[in-house]
């Protein structure tokens, strides 16, 4: 009898435990696992160029004076407000009160001065030093006020300060940020399991509105097939930048998931080596632009996600000028231009980096070029090889790449940039733009710049890279677009 009792007791205890375990939780979930394709090489946004760094820490762990919102607007962050002098040279930032770093130390004007001076220093390892190029001096007026003086007016200064590379760090922890990031954001760094994941935890002393999640885990799954399986199995709750657009239809059909389609700052171009014959002839570049059918590339390589562009500018930007008609798909015109240029049987190298948009897009472009009599010899290369061979050594005719930095039309003014445009007139437009702060004038100059590079057919402009993500349907608050490289978890929450 005793035995029987014990057994029943055990059985009911087990049943109770099982019942508790399987009972639906009453409160909404407060932890999230976010899938990413690449693992960051380190976690210091002020000391590395990799997008994956910002995708983990931007707005979550680190904050700057200003920040980007989900739709790309620049809003106050650690600076509550600012005054700009008449001549546009002096910015006085009024810092937020009661801000602390995750190690408990307080945040003040000295930290700002330290961070900006560190980023713009001669020996700085900051990946975007150009952001700070116009800064002449940084002065901590008092604990809550910082005065930054520029050497020349820069209409983009507040925008520049919103970048992940311009976040504020503390002098005490600055040297160890790569493995132990300490910032002022709503989440503090918890653990990094190399090769697998980075975990963040809610920071209780956060100055702003407290996040609704307690724990965020970024899990790195490079293989698109494995990513698909991980999302399907619920191992990751969200994959904001899903690498295989072909699988999105399946997620769409599944009520457990939502598919989030937005845009990025990625102008995807067929870059041409402007200094290398025969591509130094504008007629040939125009012919290539006319040979390309953008919609076929978007449909074939990205399963219809993506917006055609006619110049190097994001279509969602209010200053965008739609110039796609100027280089519309017209094989007849392309052949005519090639005749005028006096070439036949043109063979060009086409080097393709690993992303699907480049590899698939490249095959489609090669077929389209074949229609007008240009042979594109495809070579698939890895990123390291692409950087070495194409970007640095400029040993290429054609390549496909997405330029994902926001507002990066300025690369066309760089002399040594890989597509080697270096046009004096364009540089003059950009120089004027940099000195202009008046919004209307800026708009006009930006339009001029866009038209200039489209008229010169510097590159063939293909499409704005979409951001296609997938998430559990119960997750709210994820950014649909990517105005900068970020996975901002501040406003993310689960609903029941």
Alpha helices in 266-371 (DSSP H): 282-291, 294-302, 331-341, 356-371
Residue 214 binding another protein, by CB under 8 A: no
- Output 68 or 228, the one with its CB closest to another protein: 228
CB of 315 to another protein, least distance (A): 22
CB of 289 to another protein, least distance (A): 19
CB of 277 to another protein, least distance (A): 23
Calpha distance 278→266 (Å, rounded): 28
Residue 367 binding another protein, by CB under 8 A: yes
Q: At what angle do helices 282-291 and 356-371 cross, to 10 degrees?
A: 100
Question: Which tokens sit at 158?
Answer: 């507040």
Residue 250 binding another protein, by CB under 8 A: yes
What Rg do the C-alpha atoms of the chain give, in angstroms? Answer: 26
CB of 22 to another protein, least distance (A): 29
Residue 378 binding another protein, by CB under 8 A: yes
Count of residues engaged in binding another protein, rule: CB under 8 A: 23
Q: On the CB side of 115, how many CA atoms lie within 13 Å of its CA?
A: 29
- Output 167 or 350, the one with its CB closest to another protein: 350
Residue with tokens 């043109």: 346
Q: At what angle do helices 282-291 and 331-341 cross, to 10 degrees?
A: 160
Q: Which helix (H) or strand (E) holds 2?
A: helix 2-22
Residue 225 binding another protein, by CB under 8 A: yes
CB of 333 to another protein, least distance (A): 20
CB of 350 to another protein, least distance (A): 10
Of 288-317, binders to another protein (CB under 8 A) are 296, 299-300
- Output 300 or 447, the one with its CB closest to another protein: 300
Calpha distance 133→125 (Å, rounded): 14
Strand bridging mode 238-239 / 307-308: unpaired
Residue 244 binding another protein, by CB under 8 A: yes
- Output 243 or 310, the one with its CB closest to another protein: 243
Of 5-13, 32-40, 269-277, 374-382: span binding another protein (CB under 8 A): 374-382
CB of 430 to another protein, least distance (A): 37
CB of 124 to another protein, least distance (A): 35
- Output 260 or 365, the one with its CB closest to another protein: 365
Tell me which of 83, 87, 214, 246 binds another protein, using CB under 8 A: 246
CB of 97 to another protein, least distance (A): 50
278 DSSP assignment: T
Residue 374 binding another protein, by CB under 8 A: no
Residue 88 binding another protein, by CB under 8 A: no
CB of 478 to another protein, least distance (A): 23
Of 6-35, binders to another protein (CB under 8 A) are none
Report the SS3 class of residue 34. Answer: strand
Q: Which helix (H) or strand (E) holds 384?
A: helix 383-386
- Output 73 or 377, the one with its CB closest to another protein: 377
DSSP class per residue in 58-120: BTTTB--SEEE-TTS-EEESSEEEEEE-TTS-EEEEEEPSS-B-TTSPBP-HHHHHHHHHHHH
Question: Which tokens sit at 161?
Answer: 């300060």
387 DSSP assignment: I
Helices (H) and strands (E) in the chain, counts: 13, 19
Strand bridging mode 346-352 / 374-380: parallel
Contact string 336-365 vs another protein (x = CB under 8 A): --------------------x---x-xxx-
Chain residues that interact with another protein, rule: CB under 8 A: 224-225, 228, 244, 246-247, 249-250, 296, 299-300, 356, 360, 362-364, 366-367, 370, 377-380
């Amino acid at each position: 009898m005793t035995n029987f009792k014990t057994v029943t007791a055990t059985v009911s205890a087990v049943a109770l435990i099982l019942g508790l375990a399987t009972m639906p939780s009453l409160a909404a979930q407060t932890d999230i696992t976010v899938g990413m394709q690449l693992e960051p090489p380190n976690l210091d946004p002020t000391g590395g160029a990799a997008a994956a760094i910002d995708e983990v820490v931007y707005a979550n762990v680190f904050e700057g004076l200003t920040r980007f919102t989900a739709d790309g607007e620049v809003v106050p962050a650690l600076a509550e407000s600012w005054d700009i002098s008449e001549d546009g040279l002096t910015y006085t930032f009024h810092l937020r009160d009661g801000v602390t770093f995750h190690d408990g130390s307080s945040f003040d004007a000295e930290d700002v001065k330290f961070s900006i001076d560190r980023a713009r220093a001669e020996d700085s390892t900051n990946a975007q030093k150009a952001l700070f190029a116009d800064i002449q001096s940084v002065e901590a007026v008092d604990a809550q006020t910082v005065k930054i003086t520029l050497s020349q007016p820069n209409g983009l200064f507040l925008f520049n300060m919103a970048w992940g590379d311009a976040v504020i760090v503390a002098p005490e922890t600055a040297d160890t940020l790569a493995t132990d990031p300490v910032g002022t954001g709503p989440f503090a760094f918890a653990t990094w399991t190399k090769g697998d994941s980075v975990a963040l935890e809610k920071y209780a002393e956060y100055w702003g509105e407290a996040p609704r999640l307690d724990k965020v885990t970024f899990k790195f799954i490079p293989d698109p097939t494995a990513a698909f399986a991980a999302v399907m199995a619920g191992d990751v709750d969200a994959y904001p930048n899903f690498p295989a657009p072909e699988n999105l239809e399946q997620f769409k059909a599944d009520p457990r998931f939502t598919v989030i389609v937005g845009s990025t700052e990625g102008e995807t171009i067929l870059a041409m080596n402007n200094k290398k014959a025969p591509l130094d002839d504008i007629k040939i570049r125009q012919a290539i632009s006319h040979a390309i059918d953008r919609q076929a590339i978007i449909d074939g390589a990205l399963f219809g996600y993506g917006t055609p562009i006619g110049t190097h500018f994001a279509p969602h930007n209010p200053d965008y000028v739609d110039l796609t008609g100027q280089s519309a798909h017209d094989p007849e015109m392309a052949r005519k231009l090639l005749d005028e240029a006096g070439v036949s049987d043109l063979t060009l190298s086409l080097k393709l980096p690993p992303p699907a948009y480049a590899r698939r897009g490249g095959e489609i472009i090669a077929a389209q070029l074949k229609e007008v009599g240009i042979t594109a010899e495809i070579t698939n290369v890895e990123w390291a090889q692409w950087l070495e061979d194409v970007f640095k050594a400029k040993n290429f005719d054609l390549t496909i790449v997405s330029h994902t930095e926001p507002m990066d039309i300025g690369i066309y003014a760089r002399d040594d940039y890989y597509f080697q445009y270096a046009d004096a007139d364009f540089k003059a437009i950009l120089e004027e733009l940099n000195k202009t702060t008046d919004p209307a004038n800026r708009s006009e100059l930006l339009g001029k710049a866009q038209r200039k590079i489209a008229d010169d057919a510097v590159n063939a402009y293909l499409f704005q890279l979409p951001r296609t993500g997938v998430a559990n349907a119960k997750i709210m608050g994820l950014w649909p677009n990517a105005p900068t490289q970020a996975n901002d978890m501040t406003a993310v929450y689960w609903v029941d």
